[in-house]
Amino acid sequence: MPDVLLKAYVMADFEDKLVSAELTVPIQITNEFDVDRNGNSYIVTVIYTADDDDPVEVRVSLDDVVNTMADEYSDPEGYQHMYMVAHELSRCSEELREKASYVEDSANAVGRLFDLD
């Protein structure tokens, strides 16, 4: 999990005195992909702050991301970006299929080797 240092600067005006404070919070962020029982896909960002064991989870619908991107790049200057993203998603999908197939084949081979079926 990559460590990210979050800095926030807070300024307040109390009785005509300027008060300045610096807050440094170490955070860790992970990104995941989830598909629910209904087949809806989500990009999930999990944020851990300091030593807190309870993370904050941000779930964004993949359909919403794709639809927003399609809206933002649906002009003659943006269509190439949509092609590029579509290509990358296709490449990732093939890579995941290959890895899943490898794991499936390995599990089946071990099962046959030790007669686990």
Residue 22 pLDDT? 81
Band the pLDDT of 20: cuts 50, 70, 90. Answer: confident
Contact 24, 44 (CB under 8 A): no
Tell me the C-alpha distance between 84 and 78, whole Å: 10
Sequence spans of domains, the chain: 1-61, 73-117
**Whether residue 17 has pLDDT greater than 70:** no
Q: Is 105 left (phi over 0), alpha (psi -120 to 50) or beta?
A: alpha
Higher pLDDT, 10 or 92: 92
